[in-house]
Structure formats: C-alpha cells, structure tokens
Amino acid sequence: MENTAKNLFDVYVSRFENCYNPASPVKIKLIDWLQDNKHAEQVNKLRNITNKKERDGQKRKLPVITPSGVFSYRNFGSLITYSGFIQFDIDLKENKHIANFNELKVLLARISNIAYCGLSVSGKGYWGLVPVAYPQKHSAHFLALEKDFASLKIIIDHMPRSICSTRTYSVDAEAYFNPKATVYKRFFKSQKQLIKPFEKRFTDNSQTVSMEEETIKNLVKEIVKRQIDVTQGYQTWFEIACTLANVLGENGRIYFHEISQFHSDYHPVKTDKQYDACLKKRYNYTLGTLLHIVKLKAY
C-alpha cells in the first residue's frame, strides 16, 4: 500500500483485548491496525479449522477495534471522538445468491466510496470501511448504505449500524486500499407526516412515542453508567427485547445491545438474532415491563 493512504487512514480508533472485554481500551491508529501482522499466524490456523464452534472460540480470543471511533468504554454513551468511518460486513451465508462471491472484493473496489476492503477473520467473507460526511449521523448513514448495497443485491450485516460495533482482527495480503475514496454523503431521512394544527391534538401520537423513547434512553444511560446487568435469566432478556421492539421498532436494537452488554455471555450476533425474533413476532409487552424489570434488578 502506498504511503498516501495514511492521509485517510491516519485516524484513531479503540483496541480491546477481545470481544468479551468492553473495558480498558487502547487508543491506536487505524492504519497501524490494518497493517498489523502480529496475529497473522493465528488467523491462518483459524481459517483451517472446519469445526465452526471451535473456529468461533478461537476467533473470540483475538483483539477487536471499534472502527467508527475512540471510546472510553465499549458502549453507545462512551464515545470520545469519531474516526469518520463506517464499517460494512458481507457474509457468505447471507449472500449465497452471489455466484462470483470469491471475486466480490474486486467488484467492490469499483465503488468510489469504499476506502478499504479485505477478508474477514474466517476468510469466508469481506469487511470494509467507508468514509462518511456526517459521523454524528452514523445510524442514518448506515441505513442509506445498507439500501445502496441492497440495490446491488448485496446483503450487509446490520450490526455496524451501532457506532460501537467491533471488528475482529484479520489479515489479507491482498486487501484493497483506496486513499482517495469519495466521502459518502447519503443518509436516511424519516418521512414526517404533515398534520393540520387543529387535528394535531387528536391524531398526533408522536409526542407520546418521543416521551417513551426519552424514558428508555435515560434508563439505558443509567444502566450503562452503573454498568449493571439487568438481563439475568433468558426470560428477562427476552422480555426486554420484546418491549424495545414493540415501543421503538428497529430503533430499539441499539438500546438492546447497550443493556445486554453487561451479561457475562453477551454476544453481539446472538443479541441481534433475539431482537430480530421479537421484531417479527411482536409479543405483547409494554414500556411498563421494562420499568418493572429495571426496578427489580437494579434497585
């Protein structure tokens, strides 16, 4: 890679010991992480393991970074500075319809917004980085990016919608670097319904929804501040997911990860799958359920 790449990749991110430990991050330069070969031998051995459970176990021992910024603790409320990047993750299992999947990296290199693309730690997928115009609109940028990939018939993992999502160490001798990548400016804008002044007091329930989200936001902020686990037991965890799905829909996913992260068995993928299930079923739980759980578990 040419030295000119450092102009774009010479930003800071946080490095964590592994995916289990959200504390004690080390501030490092992104370019150093992308060019680090310290664990290359370990990754190459991992890619030869056929047993998925064993392979995943080895994967979780590797260090991770938060590509979108520097954090004092790996959670939504502990962001210090933005890196200016959003990561994307393309798994083979979600894209089996792509006949030339092995050549996908070459095709992705034609997209001007992609600054980096390389093999994932398993060697069976790809991950990459896109510079964004408004880092503070991280989630909105990601939703637009997700739609743009979908227009190319490519399904990307939705975990990176969270600004504190991690990336496990990987190596790719043929990784693609584009130091002149075009900054991605698109972001998702929600459509607000126009209501006449006299009808608003009777038909507009946006204020109620806003108050509920504000309540949840403050509740999660307190949980994160105190670093307490309120998800003890599957049933409790399930009810929390259902409540957030019912009240906030897709917007509740980030809060679910924020709440779940303090459990000793927290795993981002499993947490996402549980939330997906609750979004589909829409079980009959309300904000009162979450308030009751937190009151019992935290006070």
- The answer to whether residues 208 and 158 belong to one domain is no
Note whether 108 and 126 are within 8 A (CB): yes
Which one-letter amino acid corresponds to residue 147? Answer: K
Where residue 210 falls among pLDDT bands split at 50, 70, 90?
low
State the residue range of the domain holding 112: 3-177
Is 145 among the domain residues?
Answer: yes
Is 54 among the domain residues?
Answer: yes
pLDDT of residue 194: 34
What value does the mean pLDDT take over residues 178-205? 60
- The answer to whether residues 34 and 165 belong to one domain is yes
pLDDT at 2 over 70: no
pLDDT of residue 28: 97
Q: H-type helices in 47-157, by residue range?
A: 52-59, 104-108, 138-151
Give the list of residues 6+ apart from residue 189 with CB closer than 8 angstroms, or none.
140
Instruction: Give CA–CA dist 163/50, Å, rounded.
Output: 32
**Rounded alpha-carbon distances, angstroms, from residue 149 to 95, 270, 290:** 12, 24, 35
What value does the mean pLDDT take over residues 3-8? 60
Q: Which residue has the higher pLDDT, 93 or 29?
A: 29
pLDDT of residue 220: 86
Where residue 247 falls among pLDDT bands split at 50, 70, 90?
confident
Is 182 among the domain residues?
Answer: no
- The answer to whether residues 144 and 292 belong to one domain is no
- The answer to whether residues 172 and 204 belong to one domain is no
- The answer to whether residues 213 and 243 belong to one domain is yes
Instruction: Give CA–CA dist 219/216, Å, rounded.
Output: 5
Instruction: Give CA–CA dist 81/178, Å, rounded.
Output: 23
Is 192 among the domain residues?
Answer: no
- How many domains does the chain fold into? 2
Angle at 121 between CA 155 and CA 99, to 5 degrees: 40
What value does the mean pLDDT take over residues 263-279? 83
Where residue 226 falls among pLDDT bands split at 50, 70, 90?
confident
pLDDT at 124 over 60: yes
pLDDT of residue 299: 60
Instruction: Give CA–CA dist 48/61, Å, rounded.
Output: 16
pLDDT digits (tens, 9 = 90+) for 96-118: 999 999 999 999 999 999 999 99
What is the chain's mean pLDDT, rounded?
Answer: 86
- The answer to whether residues 120 and 208 belong to one domain is no
pLDDT at 9 over 90: yes
pLDDT digits (tens, 9 = 90+) for 136-171: 999 889 989 999 999 999 999 988 988 999 999 999
- The answer to whether residues 161 and 273 belong to one domain is no
User: Which range in 85-99, 188-202, 273-287 is most confidently predicted, on average pLDDT?
Assistant: 85-99
% of the chain residues with pLDDT over 90? 52
Note whether 162 and 74 are within 8 A (CB): no
Residue with tokens 């995943």: 56
Burial 127-166 (b: 16+ CB within 10 A, else e): bbbbbbeebeebbbbbbbbbebbeeeebbbbbbbbbbbbb
Residue 127's nearest CA partner among 96, 171, 83, 93 is 171
Backbone angles phi, psi at 89, to 5 degrees: -135, 125
Is 190 among the domain residues?
Answer: no
Handedness of CA 56, 61, 66, 72 (dihedral sign): positive
Is 102 among the domain residues?
Answer: yes
Handedness of CA 21, 26, 31, 32 (dihedral sign): negative
- The answer to whether residues 220 and 282 belong to one domain is yes
Q: Is 247 strand, coil or helix?
A: helix
pLDDT of residue 298: 63
